[in-house]
Structure 1
Amino acid sequence: MTNIKVMYAGQQQQTITSLEVAEMVGREHKNVMQDIRKISADLGQLKIQPSSYFTESTYKNNQNKTQPMFLLTKQGCELYGNRMTGIEGTAFAIKYIERFNEMEQVIQHNLPTDPLELALTAALDTRKEVAAIKEDVDYLKDNMRINTYQEKTLQDIVKRKAMKALGGYKSLAYEMLANKVFRAAWRDFKNHFGISTYKELPAKRFDEGVKLLNYWEPGASLRMDIESYQNQQSLID
């Protein structure tokens, strides 16, 4: 069974996770999530704030990936249980009531009464939350890809380098080799970073990508092809 989520007085209400609910009712977690989203949508149409019943949150799965879940208050469990009838609804009611009773007992036995101890406990909880947030931020920094503006910046550099190498839009080399030069630039870029498209470039390596493209020049064989067309154009002109 998933660990009990205990909230001390002065914080938010005691809750259980949608993972626990899924285990209690014997359903896939994704299906429980769908149910809760549907109920939340119904509450919204009734002009009722779903936050008194369900709160969106996240958890780390076995692969250490952040996944969505909901936190359900006791009212939320009651509302969710109303969708079930017969023995299934009764069984769920017994399980979530027992779980909330367990949380109440944990609070009664572990909640500090000394004001200083209460403050220290709250500070420790806050520190843990900050550490968890920092961990999520670090994960995003490591995995976030470049944005649209950064994509455009890279495109502009490749365009500028290609135009310079080919001699401009009106050149014979551009007419015959433009696609080949652009492909070569992006191929070298993707090979350097080990990605399948330049849009997969990690945001933290954007400056390195800019530097690489500013250094880029067509390879020897491609330069010879460009020179050949430039020589033909000089004879025509």
Structure 2
Amino acid sequence: MQLNLVESNGQYLADSRDVAEMVGKNHFHLTRDIEGYIKVIEENPKLDSQTFFIPSTYLTKQNKAAKHYLITKQGCEMVANKMTGEKGILFTAAYVDQFNQMERSLQNDYSQLSPQLQQMIRLEQKQSEHDKRLNQLENNWQIDSFQQNVIQKQIRKRVYEIRDNYDNSEAGTRRLFAGIHRNFRDAFAVPSYRDLRKLDFEDAKSWIKSWRPLF
């Protein structure tokens, strides 16, 4: 069996249903594995899970929407790396060969175009890559001093809102401050609230408003 690759935004994608059939795996089990990979990837703010796996839906024979994933070349490499034995080797050989064939085909298609059109396509691809890198950088920018001040004030406000329900002594208040800062760092995977990503700023404010100590 061959992978039915589709072209989207200048890259080729494989369907998780085809991958499951090729490696002799139940599609439900493969999507479950992929979701596990995505969870690990998303724990690292420097990585984008859609560089590997893009969630999508399809219509079943019963005309119901069902989940599947469009898998990039990097995603196929990740899937292949988790496999052992003959099926893993055959899948690796198949996806490498087909991705390379499609990329060569795309290059050949470009060669038939005028130099002006080829240049336009290259410029669009560079712009798309630039926009993607810029978006990733923007998502990982840290909050500015004004936003840090907002977070700090909201943490203080939350502690004083709830301290009478726990221990409003000086020592109890210190424990609440230590607890909310510790839980904040764990919740947003940062060494300090000052290192919070701008992308998480609104979520952090909501989190603070609903925080309660775990002790």
Normalised-by-shorter TM-score class: 0.3 to 0.5
Q: Which has the larger radius of gyration?
A: 1
TM-score (norm 1): 0.43
